[in-house]
Amino acid sequence: MTVGIVGLGLIGGSFAKAYSENDEHRVYAYDINEQVMRDAYNMKIAEGELNKATIGSCDLILLALYPQASVDYLKNNAMHISPNTVVIDCCGVKEFVCKECFPIAKEYGFTFVGGHPMAGRHFSGLEYSTKTMYNGASMVLVPEDLSDETTIEKAKKLLSPIKFGKFTICDARRHDEMIAFTSQMAHVVSNAYVKSPTAKNHDGFSAGSYKDLTRVAWLNETMWTELFLENKECLLEELTYFINSLSEYKKAMENNDADTLKKLLADGKKCKEEIDGLTE
């Protein structure tokens, strides 16, 4: 197949490396950074630039940019995309992107499917991308019509060389609600937690718990600001619940209420056991 990839950071670069691993696939790519493009050519993960002359030959186009940039790219290039092409974005929010992109695809006759590869690494950039980053990972797909099996199966087939372990099909709202909890909340909490002055003196006193909780505090503040604000309704709902829950622990400790504190801890443990399938 012929694949066009817009954005050669960690996400787009990993897609490019995975597709270019097979000589049967042709990869065209575009990145605003000229050095990144030169690096892609040197790595032999792109054989040419994705532009007006090549975009029409693509079976699949992957938008691996920030949400607004993905929408802008599609608006500016939709007239050059073939009706046979499937366009999939890789953004961390879906309601905003899908609301903008479904009408564009309909106007110009190609297919747009919202997407979100559930994989990543601590660092960003092409140099940290790998051809195996998505192996076994889940790929979320958000078609315009959840009952459109033809489009869903076509998207899966186009993505099959990437070796995802699972495809999760849902609507945009469901995706954003879940991501607010599983990803965005983790970044907010980690980033806020590490601001304690005590953190500067953690050496010699920390082990797995500290490392687990602070891992994602190191983040791309520009990207996450955009993601948080574009999904603020879902994220604020989770934040409100979390803050209210924390206040219960705080109140129990302030009142030396051992019974309530013990129950709160037991309830949390039970939730974890149920989530992990450790109870019948």
Q: Do 23 and 126 fall into the same domain? A: yes
In this structure, is residue 108 part of a structural domain?
yes
| CATH number of residue 128's parent domain | 3.40.50.720
pLDDT band at 20 (very low <50, low <70, confident <90, very high): very high
Confidence (pLDDT) at 280: 57
- For residue 39, what are the contacts with CB-CB under 8 A and spacing of at least 6? 8, 126, 127
Q: Do 133 and 260 fall into the same domain? A: no
Q: Do 163 and 194 fall into the same domain? A: no
The pLDDT tens digits of the residues spanning 154-171 come to 999 999 999 999 999 999
Q: Do 206 and 68 fall into the same domain? A: no
Are 167 and 139 within 8 A, CB to CB?
Answer: yes
Mean predicted lDDT score pLDDT of the chain: 96
**Of 170, 188, 212, which marks where a domain is finished?**
170
> For residue 153, what are the domain limits?
2-170
Q: Do 203 and 163 fall into the same domain? A: no
What average pLDDT score do residues 82-88 get? 98
pLDDT band at 103 (very low <50, low <70, confident <90, very high): very high
What average pLDDT score do residues 84-101 get? 98
Q: Do 139 and 195 fall into the same domain? A: no
Q: How far, in Å, CA of 207 to CA of 163, rounded?
A: 34
In this structure, is residue 59 part of a structural domain?
yes
**Of 170, 202, 220, which marks where a domain is finished?**
170
Work out how many domains the chain is built from and give that number: 2
In this structure, is residue 145 part of a structural domain?
yes
Q: Are strands 111-118 and 138-142 parallel, antiparallel or unpaired?
A: antiparallel
3-state SS, residue 91: coil
Cα end-to-end span (Å), the chain: 47
In this structure, is residue 112 part of a structural domain?
yes
Q: What percent of the chain has pLDDT over 70?
A: 99
In this structure, is residue 190 part of a structural domain?
yes
In this structure, is residue 280 part of a structural domain?
no
Q: Do 106 and 180 fall into the same domain? A: no
3-state SS, residue 142: strand
Confidence (pLDDT) at 7: 98
Nearest to 173 by CA among 209, 146, 136, 205: 146
pLDDT band at 278 (very low <50, low <70, confident <90, very high): confident
Confidence (pLDDT) at 122: 76
The pLDDT tens digits of the residues spanning 216-239 come to 999 999 999 999 999 999 999 999
E strand intervals along the chain: 2-6, 26-30, 48-49, 60-63, 86-89, 111-118, 138-142, 166-169
Q: Do 217 and 265 fall into the same domain? A: yes
Q: Do 136 and 204 fall into the same domain? A: no
The pLDDT tens digits of the residues spanning 124-141 come to 899 999 999 999 999 999
Q: Do 107 and 207 fall into the same domain? A: no
Q: Give the residue with greater pLDDT, 276 vs 155.
A: 155
Q: Do 227 and 92 fall into the same domain? A: no
In this structure, is residue 42 part of a structural domain?
yes
Q: Do 77 and 179 fall into the same domain? A: no
The pLDDT tens digits of the residues spanning 167-194 come to 999 999 999 999 999 999 999 999 999 9
pLDDT band at 118 (very low <50, low <70, confident <90, very high): very high
**Of 116, 151, 170, which marks where a domain is finished?**
170
Q: How far, in Å, CA of 130 to CA of 128, rounded?
A: 7
| CATH number of residue 236's parent domain | 1.10.3660.10
In this structure, is residue 148 part of a structural domain?
yes
pTM, rounded to two decimals: 0.92
- One-letter amino acid at 200 equals K
